[in-house]
């Protein structure tokens, strides 16, 4: 057993027990249903903004965009406009492809040593595929949950529900995004546990969010399909939170508070963890800078102000003496 994922697993189980016992035994519904969610939302927003602000205060001393193609140079050499963007438009396309389709992950290869020994790099798309599935299904799940936070749910969210549940399996209908989210999160977890090289560089901070998200997905799926909760009561609580009139309706099962506690922990943990790649992807200088280093000089913003004395100023100071000594000058008297 690897202590790194064991600790993370134990932490998530402990969180479950804290919420379950807190609600079932101690009756702390108001703590897990109102106070902790509010604190988590505040921590999430303030922490996120502060973290991004800190990043924005760090200067980029060098132009360090990764170049994945030919740079714009002489007119007869064909440049790669997206992989080596020369203009702002190219950067926007590159960033959009990176953020929406994880293009750099698509280039993922795996290294193998064959007989010889000869090294070869092999096509490896599974990580890209499951990451994409994971992120998009998580997005759909989050957007679907807005039905608990909006009174008169706008039509677009209702349509999303319809599309997500179009298979109409069972009642309540199976939502594809929930199943895909859980499957993809388990894939990402197994990858870290089963592949020895990946396990070697995985830390507890890599496993903890995965276990936590699996916990959120499992508790959500349990509530929707198996143990059941009173949905109208749940919406009463969530609407209370977003309208600042919090109150705890009776008869909501402990599993709901476990789910909310997991989500609150995720939100509060977010700004302090690797999950900040949500904001960080926009701010990575290896992606968001233009590759125009030959055409424009990138000036290090922390360069100290150097006092210079140019030749023109030197000549201004000594012109008469220079002419008197017979030295050539650029500007005559």
Binding to another protein (CB under 8 A): which residues in 153-172? Answer: 153, 157-158, 161-162, 168, 170-172
Q: In whole angstroms, what is the distance from residue 115 CA to residue 119 CA?
A: 9
The interface region with another protein, picked from 14-22, 107-115, 152-160, 195-203 by CB under 8 A, is 152-160
- C-alpha 23/C-alpha 29 separation (Å) is 5
Q: How far is the CB of 28 from another protein (least distance, A)?
A: 22
- Does 304 bind another protein (CB under 8 A)? Our answer is no
Tell me which of 21, 100, 150, 195 binds another protein, using CB under 8 A: 150
* Contact track, another protein, 251-280, x by CB under 8 A: x---------------------------x-
For another protein, the closer CB: 109 or 243: 243
**Using alpha carbons only, what angle is made at residue 225 by residues 187 and 176, rounded to the nearest 5 degrees?**
45
Q: Say which residues have a Cβ less than 8 Å from residue 239's Cβ, sequence separation at least 6.
A: 148, 149, 151
Nearest to 32 by CA among 229, 270, 256, 272: 256
- Interacting stretch for another protein, rule CB under 8 A, among 58-66, 100-108, 111-119, 210-218? 58-66
CA dihedral of residues 16, 18, 19, 20 (deg, nearest 10) = 80
Interaction pattern, residues 101-140, with another protein; x per rule: CB under 8 A: ----------------------------------------
Q: How many secondary structure helices (H) and strands (E) does the chain include?
A: 15, 2
Residues 265 and 209: their CA atoms lie apart, in Å, by 10
Binding mask 11-40 for another protein (x = CB under 8 A): ------------------------------
């Amino acid at each position: 057993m690897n202590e790194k994922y064991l600790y993370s697993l134990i932490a998530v189980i402990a969180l479950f027990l804290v919420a379950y016992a807190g609600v079932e035994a101690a009756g702390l519904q108001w703590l897990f249903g109102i106070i902790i969610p509010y604190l988590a939302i505040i921590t999430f927003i303030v922490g996120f903004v502060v973290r991004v602000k800190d990043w924005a205060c760090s200067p980029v001393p060098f132009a360090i965009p990764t170049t994945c193609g030919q740079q714009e140079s002489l007119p007869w050499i064909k440049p790669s406009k997206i992989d080596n963007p020369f203009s702002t438009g190219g950067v926007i396309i590159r960033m959009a492809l990176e953020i929406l389709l994880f293009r750099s992950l698509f280039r993922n290869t795996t290294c193998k040593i064959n007989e010889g020994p000869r090294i070869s790099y092999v096509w490896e798309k599974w990580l890209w595929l499951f990451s994409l599935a994971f992120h998009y299904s998580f997005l759909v799940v989050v957007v679907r949950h807005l039905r608990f936070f909006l009174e008169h749910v706008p039509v677009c969210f209702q349509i999303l529900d319809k599309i997500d549940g179009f298979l109409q399996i069972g009642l309540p209908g199976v939502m594809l995004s929930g199943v895909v989210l859980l499957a993809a999160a388990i894939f990402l977890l197994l990858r870290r546990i089963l592949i020895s090289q990946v396990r070697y560089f995985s830390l507890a901070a890599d496993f903890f969010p995965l276990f936590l998200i699996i916990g959120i997905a499992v508790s959500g799926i349990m509530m929707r399909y198996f143990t059941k909760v009173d949905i109208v009561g749940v919406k009463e609580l969530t609407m209370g939170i977003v309208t600042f009139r919090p109150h705890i309706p009776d008869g909501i099962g402990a599993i709901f508070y476990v789910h909310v506690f997991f989500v609150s922990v995720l939100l509060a943990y977010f700004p302090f963890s690797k999950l900040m790649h949500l904001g960080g992807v926009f701010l990575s200088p290896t992606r968001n800078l233009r590759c125009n280093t030959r055409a424009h000089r990138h000036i290090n913003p922390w360069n100290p102000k150097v006092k210079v004395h140019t030749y023109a100023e030197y000549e201004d100071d000594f012109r008469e003496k220079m002419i008197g000594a017979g030295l050539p000058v650029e500007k005559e008297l």
